[in-house]
Amino acid sequence: MRTTTEPVVRAEALAAPGGRRILGIAGPPGAGKSTLAARIADALGPERAVVVPMDGFHLARAELDRLGRADRKGAPDTFDAAGYVALLRRLRAADGPTVYAPAFDRSLEEPIAGSIPVAPHVPLVITEGNYLLHDVGEWASVRPLLDEAWYLAPAEDLRLDRLIERHVRHGKDPAYAREWVARSDEANARLVAPGRDRADLVLDTG
């Protein structure tokens, strides 16, 4: 991923003492959102920043099977968007005990509750995911809860290569991985693209 120092500098400003702020990092599948979020959190340190991914709100496979949505996992309606919004509101308040956020285990392809502790004194929460700037349904409530929102815009060939490699790394056959990317991930990327216009910063990540 190619980045300048600007993201870290901007994040450091958000992590200034005095209240809780939330930075959202959005973009299409394979844009490098989780990588950038982790790099910023590492640069700031655990006392100043913590990453809370949107992917922790994936519906469980059993529920996707029940709803008939397992073959398009990753679409907007395969997440608990209302639950994600409720968590962001709790995180913004920062007026109670430690909040425990869910994570997503890619080796299991399942969300894991209570995985990420967010202590009340941490000034910056970095949240990342496809639909932070999506303006349909419950997702429309996310953007007003973000103090700043960034959109990652990598070169398309690089993004697609990353996606296919990630699916293969987590157990998909290469041919099936390419088919999944073309059918499912790219449909989601088209939904995500208009959110670019609602971002405070657009980053070319490679």
- Of 56, 4, 31, 79, nearest to 195 by C-alpha is 31
Residue 2 confidence (pLDDT): 39
| CB 62, CB 132: distance < 8 Å | no
Query: Hey, is 163 helix, strand or coil?
Result: helix
Which of the pair, 146 or 184, is modelled with greater confidence? 146
Please compute the mean of the pLDDT values over residues 97-115 and round it to a whole number.
94
State the chain's mean pLDDT as an integer.
92
The confidence band for 151, taking pLDDT boundaries of 50, 70 and 90, is very high
Residue 1 confidence (pLDDT): 36
- Answer yes or no: is pLDDT of 65 > 50: yes
Residue 148 confidence (pLDDT): 97
Residue 206 confidence (pLDDT): 62
The confidence band for 5, taking pLDDT boundaries of 50, 70 and 90, is low
Please compute the mean of the pLDDT values over residues 108-131 and round it to a whole number.
96
- Answer yes or no: is pLDDT of 66 > 80: yes
The model's pLDDT over 20-48, given as tens digits with 9 standing for 90+, comes to 999 999 999 988 999 999 999 999 999 99
Residues 6+ apart with CB under 8 A from 154: 1, 27, 30, 31, 32, 162, 204, 205, 206
Residue 165 confidence (pLDDT): 86
Residue % of the chain over a pLDDT of 70: 97
Residues 6+ apart with CB under 8 A from 42: none
Domains of the chain: 6-203 (3.40.50.300)
Residue 166 confidence (pLDDT): 81
Residue 155 confidence (pLDDT): 82
How many CB atoms lie under 10 A from the CB of residue 2? 11
- Answer yes or no: is pLDDT of 19 > 70: yes
The confidence band for 97, taking pLDDT boundaries of 50, 70 and 90, is very high
Q: How far apart are CA 46 and CA 187, in angstroms?
A: 35
